[in-house]
C-alpha cells in the first residue's frame, strides 16, 4: 500500500476510534443523562462548550500526528529495525495477549517519566500546559495535547517495536485499550463498582478520580494505567484514597 493510501486509512481509523469512544462517553454522561448523573460528577462544576471544542481540536491534531508517526515507522529510515510482525504464526498465539500487557506496562513507565519531565519548566509552559487547560476534563480531553507532546506520546510505538516483537493486531489492541483507559481517566465521573475498592486491584490500577486529581491540582498522580510509579516515587496525592472514597460515597448514597 502506498503511503498516501495508508495515511488516509489510518487517519480515518484513528479519528473514528477517537470520536466513537470519546463521543459515546460524552453523549451518555454530558448530554443524555447529564441531569441524572450531575451529582455523581467528580468535580461538580461544569466545563463549558469552549473547553470541549478546544479538547476536540487538539485531539484531532494529535490523531493526525499519530498518523504521521505511523507512516514514518512504516516508510522511514528506521523501518528496518522494526520487530513488528504481520504473520500471526511467527510467534506462539499466547504471546499476542502477553505482548499487549507488556506494552501497557512499558508504556506506563515511559509515560510516567515523560510526564514528570513535562512538568518541569520550560516544557510545562511550552507544551504540557495545553493538556492542563482542562482543569475539569471531559472524555474529549483524552488526546488534547500540544503538537510537541503528541510526538512524545507517539514515540512509545517506536520504542515498543524496536525493543520487542509485536504483531500489528497487538499494537491495535494496545492503542485501543490505551484510548479507552484515557477516556475513562478523563471521564469526569467515577464508574468503578463499589467492590473494586476492597480488591488488590485498587492498590495497583489508576482510576478516573486519580487522573482527575492530576487535572484539578496540577501536581501528583502522574501515572497512566498503574499506581506503581507514583507510589514508589512518593508522587501520589496523599489525599487520593480519601477523595476516592468520598466520591464513591457521594455517588452510592442512594
Ligand atoms: Zn500533567
Ligand atoms: Zn489528562
Phi first, then psi: give them for residue 167, nearest 5 degrees.
-75, 150
Query: Per residue in 167-198, pLDDT tens?
Result: 999 999 999 999 999 999 999 999 999 999 99
Could you state, in order of their start, the residue ranges of all structural domains in the chain? Answer: 3-190
What is the reported pLDDT for 223?
Answer: 96
What is the reported pLDDT for 106?
Answer: 97
CA atoms within 13 A on the CB side of 9: 8
Q: For residue 138, how far is its CA from the centre of ligand 1 (angstroms)?
A: 15
The ligand minimizing its distance to the Cα of 115 is 1
Q: For residue 145, how far is its CA from the centre of ligand 2 (angstroms)?
A: 9
> Average pLDDT, stretch 230-234?
97
Q: For residue 221, how far is its CA from the centre of ligand 1 (angstroms)?
A: 8
Q: For residue 231, how far is its CA from the centre of ligand 1 (angstroms)?
A: 16
pLDDT-based confidence at residue 254 (cuts at 50, 70, 90): low
Would strands 84-85 and 166-167 be described as parallel, antiparallel, or unpaired? parallel
Q: For residue 49, how far is its CA from the centre of ligand 1 (angstroms)?
A: 22
pLDDT-based confidence at residue 42 (cuts at 50, 70, 90): very high
The percentage of the chain sitting over the pLDDT mark of 70, rounded to a whole number, equals 99
Query: Per residue in 78-107, pLDDT tens?
Result: 888 899 898 888 999 999 999 999 999 999
Q: For residue 8, how far is its CA from the centre of ligand 2 (angstroms)?
A: 27
Count other Cβ atoms within 10 Å, centred on residue 92: 9
The ligand minimizing its distance to the Cα of 135 is 2
Mean pLDDT over the full length of the chain: 93
Cα(21)–Cα(76) distance, integer angstroms:
30
Q: For residue 75, how far is its CA from the centre of ligand 2 (angstroms)?
A: 31
Q: For residue 141, how far is its CA from the centre of ligand 2 (angstroms)?
A: 7
What is the reported pLDDT for 23?
Answer: 96
Q: Could you tell me the three cell numbers for 129?
A: 500546559
Cα(44)–Cα(23) distance, integer angstroms:
21
Amino acid at each position: 500500500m502506498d503511503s498516501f493510501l495508508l495515511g488516509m486509512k489510518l487517519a480515518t481509523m484513528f479519528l473514528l476510534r477517537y470520536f466513537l469512544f470519546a463521543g459515546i462517553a460524552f453523549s451518555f454522561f454530558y448530554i443524555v443523562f447529564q441531569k441524572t448523573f450531575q451529582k455523581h460528577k467528580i468535580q461538580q462544576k461544569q466545563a463549558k462548550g469552549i473547553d470541549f471544542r478546544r479538547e476536540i481540536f487538539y485531539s484531532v491534531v494529535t490523531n493526525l500526528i499519530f498518523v504521521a508517526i505511523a507512516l514514518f515507522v512504516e516508510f522511514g529510515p528506521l523501518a528496518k529495525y522494526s520487530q513488528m510482525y504481520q504473520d500471526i504464526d511467527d510467534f506462539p498465539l499466547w504471546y499476542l495477549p502477553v505482548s499487549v500487557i507488556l506494552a501497557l506496562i512499558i508504556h506506563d513507565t515511559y509515560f510516567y517519566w515523560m510526564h514528570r519531565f513535562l512538568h518541569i519548566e520550560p516544557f510545562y509552559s511550552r507544551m504540557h500546559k495545553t493538556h492542563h487547560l482542562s482543569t475539569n476534563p471531559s472524555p474529549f480531553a483524552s488526546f488534547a495535547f500540544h503538537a510537541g507532546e503528541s510526538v512524545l506520546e507517539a514515540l512509545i510505538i517506536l520504542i515498543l517495536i524496536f525493543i520487542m516483537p509485536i504483531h500489528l493486531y497487538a499494537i491495535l489492541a494496545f492503542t485501543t485499550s490505551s484510548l479507552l483507559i484515557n477516556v475513562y481517566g478523563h471521564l469526569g465521573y467515577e464508574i468503578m463498582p463499589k467492590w473494586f475498592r476492597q480488591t488488590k486491584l485498587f492498590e495497583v490500577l489508576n482510576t478516573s478520580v486519580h487522573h482527575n486529581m492530576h487535572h484539578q491540582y496540577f501536581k501528583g498522580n502522574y501515572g497512566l494505567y498503574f499506581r506503581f510509579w507514583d507510589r514508589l516515587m512518593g508522587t501520589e496525592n496523599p489525599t487520593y484514597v480519601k477523595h476516592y472514597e468520598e466520591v464513591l460515597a457521594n455517588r452510592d448514597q442512594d
